[in-house]
Amino acid sequence: MKENPLFIVFDEFQNFESVDLSIFSILQSHWDREKDEIKGAFVFIGSVFTLMQKIFEGKKEPLFGESTSRLYIEPFTPVAVSEMLADYRLDAPSHLPFYYTLFGGIPKYYFLLDRYRLFGKPRAEIIRKLYCESDAPLQNEGRELLIEEFGKNYHLYFSILQVISGGETQMARIADGAGINVNSISKYLDELTSYYKVLERRIPVTEHKYEKKVGRYHIKDPALRFWFRYIFRNQSLIEIGDEKDVTAKILDDLPSLMGRSLEELVRSLLIQRNTGDIIPFKFTRIGGFWTRKSDVEIDAVALNEEEGAILFGECKLNGKKFMRTDAQRLREKAASVKWRSGRRREYYALFSMENIPEAHRKSLEKEGVLSFDLKNLVVTK
């Protein structure tokens, strides 16, 4: 055993919970007895985060404290997705927002796109084949991923996630949309955020983490957000085989979701290009900004605490629609941001999915607004 390394891999290890609970004690016994003699490792792979967490982090579990290393597999970055799209001879800047809105950075979904030869196909065909047809591979994706995680309370959690996917992010409005007493909703939101890690709670980039009254809740995974917004919401139409109408409804609303997704995409790309050669300084923090009453919202705010520099950015699918009045409104909204007011260097920027004509770009420069096409942020091989 010492001369020949032994590697034993268990895939979907959490399934032993429902097959044979004794396996955890048996493994603990063998490991404690043989670990000094064995050259190699046990590798445990699981897709149900909460169950894997319970098996290895539950203080009453046999394998508690036994793991020597943990690896959390992160989704592909937007830059990696862009490179993948380029490998399929697609123009990455123009296609990235659509693909990222539907699939985020999860490798499984890009494997399915390749398997069904859907890269570069019309949007309607991609959505219909993967989500809306009777045997579509992703039609039950949300259920398959989360029902086992949520257990008997899955109906309640699904209701909350459907409301959030529709655009409600404030606690009181989520409670109202889900039909849950506002005094009870915080418990479920905390579980979805801290325990299940399906949601993330965001605060304005200039606020402190302990500020509770301005927090907003978002579904972390773009693919789950898409599924709850369109597939779960329209399951009755899907069940009767009305795939044509479901696909049309999705395409009609999709620009709204892509607009929100573009904000996250731009912020992620800026983080990966945070060298000071895109925007005029290297930032130490980036995020969105909004006020408690939601009368002011700014898509992207980047700042550097040491230099006192701050950038206010708007994200648009079509930057040609960002006019002089919009530039003035952006300045007005920036005045609502009290961070180092009167003691900061301010910059303003427009980020557009579609290319911005040179004449329009120069017009914005006269207003003191930098302008970037997505191609300025996306670098492919």
Q: What is the DSSP string of 235-270?
A: HHHHHTT-HHHHHHHHHHHHHHHHHHHHHHHHHHHH
Nearest CA among 46, 58, 50 for reference residue 16:
46
CB atoms within 10 A of CB 199: 25
Domain 273-377 = CATH 3.40.91.50: yes
Contact 55, 19 (CB under 8 A): no
Q: Which of 27-31, 124-128, 171-175, 216-220 has the lowest mean pLDDT?
A: 27-31
CA gap 159, 192 in Å, rounded: 12
pLDDT at position 381 over 70: no
Confidence of residue 1 (pLDDT cuts 50, 70, 90): very low
Return the SS3 of 299: strand
CA gap 68, 66 in Å, rounded: 6
Q: Which of 27-31, 103-107, 338-342 has the lowest mean pLDDT?
A: 27-31
Neighbouring residues of 163: CB distance < 8 A, sequence distance ≥ 6: 173, 174, 177, 178
**DSSP secondary structure of 91-117:** -HHHHHHHHHHHHTT-HHHHHHHHHTT
CB atoms within 10 A of CB 260: 16
What is the dotted CATH code of the domain comprising 76-260? 1.10.10
Mean pLDDT of the chain: 92
CA gap 235, 99 in Å, rounded: 22
For residue range 11-49, what is the model confidence (pLDDT) as tens digits?
Answer: 988 888 888 888 899 988 888 887 777 778 889 998 878
Confidence of residue 210 (pLDDT cuts 50, 70, 90): low
Return the SS3 of 340: coil
Q: Which of 39-43, 172-176, 189-193 has the lowest mean pLDDT?
A: 39-43
For residue 126, the model assigns a pLDDT of: 98
Sign of CA dihedral 71, 72, 75, 79: negative
For residue 211, the model assigns a pLDDT of: 61
Whole-prediction pTM: 0.89
Query: Per this entry, what is the length of the chain?
Result: 381
For residue 253, the model assigns a pLDDT of: 97
The mean per-residue pLDDT over the stretch 51-58 comes to 86
Q: Which of 3-7, 175-179, 309-313 has the lowest mean pLDDT?
A: 3-7
| Percent share of the chain, pLDDT over 90 | 73
CA distances to 1, 38, 41, 87 from 4, rounded to whole Å, are 5, 9, 12, 40
For residue range 219-252, what is the model confidence (pLDDT) as tens digits?
Answer: 999 999 999 999 999 999 999 989 999 999 999 9
Nearest CA among 220, 233, 211, 218 for reference residue 174:
218
Q: Please list the residue range(s) of the chain that carry CATH number 1.10.10.
A: 76-260
CA gap 28, 55 in Å, rounded: 12
CB atoms within 10 A of CB 18: 9
Neighbouring residues of 18: CB distance < 8 A, sequence distance ≥ 6: none
Q: Please list the residue range(s) of the chain that carry CATH number 3.40.91.50.
A: 273-377
Helices (H), the chain: 16-19, 22-34, 49-57, 78-87, 92-103, 107-115, 123-127, 141-150, 154-165, 171-178, 182-190, 222-226, 235-239, 243-272, 324-334, 358-366, 374-377
